[in-house]
Amino acid sequence: MEVVILQGSKQIGRLVADAIEALLRRKPTAVLGLATGSSPLPVYDELAARHQRDGLDFSNAHAFALDEYVGLDHGHPESYREVIRREFTSRVNIAEGNVHTPDGAAVDLPAACSAYEEAMRAAGGVDLQLLGVGTDGHIGFNEPGSSLASRTRIKTLIEQTRRDNARFFGSLAEVPHHVVTQGLGTILEARHVVLIATGAQKAPAVRDFVEGPVAAICPASVLQFHPHATILVDEAAASSLKLADFYRHTYDHKPAWQAL
């Protein structure tokens, strides 16, 4: 696990965009794993700017979203299908048919979860997965207590997550109680995982999953098992890390040939 501490979200966005651009240039058919929430927005803004300014090409790429609410219509403004379209995919030249989200409106949700796993396998697996992290340490919607080997499935949101997400809805009552999410085992199969965390409210979760034990109570801690996990945090999110100075030293002396 590589921990990179930067000054702010714009700098993080540029660095992650560099990694995605390098991936697309060496593998135009790359499969990207997309996250929602505020953490990846600077990345999406930077990628859209590079597409418009430099012609960064997404036409042969595929994308798979991490999760989706259960019970929201596909066109609902807060469905993750729509959020990803609005915040990113409509701003670049990725084909609409190459953008995949779990089907939270399916009549047979378990079958839809299995089909989503199969679609990712058929695409060749995720090359780079973007992640945020919740204040309780969840990634995707794998809440505390999730199996570390879990696959795409239905999950019940804890009330803290519903409260955190209520800002996107008219009220807490409008936030769904259930979601479809890629499992922790699914996420671990991505070839490169990039997690972004910013703000002091994320500092306890960052401390727990980076430097604490691997445990289901902190789902993001499973990333300690990943062979290529990059954790990008700002100074506020890094404020509880005991080894922060070591992480800074390591990054400052990173060999030029060693990419993110």
Question: Which residues are tagged catalytic?
Answer: 67, 136, 138, 143
Q: Nearest-5° angle of CA 188, CA 140, CA 230? A: 50
Task: Please answer whether residues 96 and 58 qualify as being in contact, where contact means their C-beta atoms are separated by less than 8 angstroms.
Answer: no
CA atoms within 13 A on the CB side of 91: 19
**Biggest distance spanned by C-alpha atoms of the chain:** 53
Q: What values do phi and psi take at 153, rounded to 5?
A: -165, 180
Q: Is residue 130 within 8 Å of 34, Cβ to Cβ?
A: yes
In 3-state terms the chain splits into helix, strand, coil percentages (rounded to 5) of 40, 20, 40
Give residue 136's Cα distance to chain centre: 15
The answer to whether the beta carbons of residues 88 and 34 sit under 8 Å apart is yes
